[in-house]
């Protein structure tokens, strides 16, 4: 074969090799360069109707949602981790009386505030959670401390409060959590219970007032520039809850789940049903085992499985490619998204 012909053949082969579709790690890198990072949050789902919302209240919710998501976005934009973005974003909502978490937590039957929270790292599948705490200013910080500074996944009650003190977390007195609006809601429910008892009628713990008073959980999921997912959830639980009731928010797989191979999810809603359906994990499992997209999996779990059980609420989620989904079967859910381009959406109602 002549030298010129051989050279042409080599050049042709080189051209073909350089233009072959990328596979394996190269595809993963390519995806991450396209979808570098994203973040989505929720501030609770439930009977949220525009006709019942004043312009001032709507503006206040939207402003706080925007403040929260921008906090996480800035962390991600500057190369920070998804765990940091989730924690700091949730801190903003925990410090606001607007949401049923941290400072805005609802009251138990015994007129106390008890907090639950969880966080999960999609890279390692490590997780941390706390339940029934009464002194920790930011429960999501405690959940992360449990994940990173203990051999356990969940701590509860006075033990969790003690762990928080020993690890230097911000501790407050119970009056920090006092919220007049939340306290009046509790009294209204207790008065209704007393009236029904006085008339010898059956009292249902899940009456309409209580059903609509427990959807204020806050949550955040994020994908960082390194391709790592994280999810976190924080709540004050259910108004008038008794006997140390714990909902789905601190339960890994129900209220929170993250896995770099699939997605990250944070839930909000009627916790008992989210626990029974293992909502957050089920979305991930449908993606992993059935090859469903995040959008399809979230729709199947929330609109079909959860609804058939009788549960109400919703989720926010991000998949490993940065696609974001908010899915709920209630009339509204406080929510916001931001992508790597800085494009932001803040929404409240189902029709948004």
pLDDT at 5: 54
pLDDT at 291: 98
Q: 103 — phi, psi (to 5°)?
A: -65, -25
pLDDT at 160: 98
In three-state secondary structure terms, 47 is coil
Residue 217 is a catalytic residue: yes
pLDDT at 32: 41
pLDDT at 21: 42
Tens digit of each residue's pLDDT (9 = 90 or more) over 251-294: 999 999 999 999 999 999 999 999 999 999 999 999 999 999 99
Tens digit of each residue's pLDDT (9 = 90 or more) over 193-233: 765 544 444 333 344 444 445 567 999 999 999 999 999 99
> Of 161, 111, 113, 157, which Cα lies nearest the Cα of 141?
161
> pTM for the full model?
0.86
Q: Which residues contact 240 (CB under 8 A, 6 or more apart)?
A: 107, 108, 109, 186, 189, 190, 193, 210, 213
Catalytic residue among 36, 89, 133, 217: 217
What is the CATH architecture of 38-349?
4-Layer Sandwich (3.60)
pLDDT of 155 higher than 60: yes
Q: How many CB atoms lie within 10 A of CB 149?
A: 12
pLDDT at 60: 96
pLDDT at 194: 67
* pLDDT mean across residues, the chain: 87
pLDDT band at 346 (very low <50, low <70, confident <90, very high): very high
Domain segments of the chain as ranges: 1-34, 38-349
Tens digit of each residue's pLDDT (9 = 90 or more) over 127-148: 999 999 999 999 999 999 999 9
User: Measured in Å, how far apart are the chain's first and last C-alpha atoms?
Assistant: 69
pLDDT of 36 higher than 90: no
């Amino acid at each position: 074969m002549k030298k010129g012909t051989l050279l042409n053949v080599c050049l042709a082969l080189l051209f073909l090799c350089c233009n072959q579709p990328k596979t394996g790690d190269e595809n993963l890198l390519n995806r991450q360069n396209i979808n570098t990072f994203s973040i989505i949050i929720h501030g609770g789902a439930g009977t949220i109707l525009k006709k019942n919302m004043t312009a001032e209240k709507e503006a206040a919710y939207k402003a706080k949602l925007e403040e929260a998501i921008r906090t996480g976005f800035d962390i991600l934009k500057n190369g920070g981790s998804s765990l940091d973005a989730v924690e700091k974003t949730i801190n903003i909502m925990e410090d606001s009386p607007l949401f049923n978490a941290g400072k805005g937590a609802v009251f138990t039957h015994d007129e106390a505030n008890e907090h639950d929270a969880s966080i999960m790292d999609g890279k390692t599948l490590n997780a941390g959670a706390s339940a029934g705490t009464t002194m920790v200013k930011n429960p999501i910080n405690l959940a992360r401390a449990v994940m990173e500074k203990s051999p356990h996944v969940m701590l509860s009650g006075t033990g969790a409060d003690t762990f928080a003190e020993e690890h230097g977390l911000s501790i407050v007195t119970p009056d920090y959590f006092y919220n007049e609006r939340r306290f009046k809601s509790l009294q209204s429910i207790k008065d209704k219970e007393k009236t029904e008892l006085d008339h010898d009628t059956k009292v249902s713990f899940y009456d309409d007032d209580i059903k609509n008073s427990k959807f204020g959980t806050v949550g955040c999921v994020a994908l960082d520039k390194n391709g790592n997912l994280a999810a976190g959830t924080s709540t004050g639980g259910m108004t008038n809850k008794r006997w140390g009731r714990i909902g789905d928010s601190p339960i890994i797989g129900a209220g929170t789940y993250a896995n770099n191979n699939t997605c990250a999810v944070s839930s909000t809603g009627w916790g008992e049903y989210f626990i029974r359906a293992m909502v957050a994990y089920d979305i991930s499992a449908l993606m992993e085992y059935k090859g469903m997209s995040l959008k399809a999996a979230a729709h199947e779990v929330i609109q079909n499985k959860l609804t058939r059980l009788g549960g109400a609420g919703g989720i926010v989620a991000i998949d490993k490619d940065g696609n974001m989904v908010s899915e709920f079967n209630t009339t509204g859910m406080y929510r916001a998204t931001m992508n790597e381009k800085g494009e932001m959406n803040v929404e409240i109602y189902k029709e948004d």
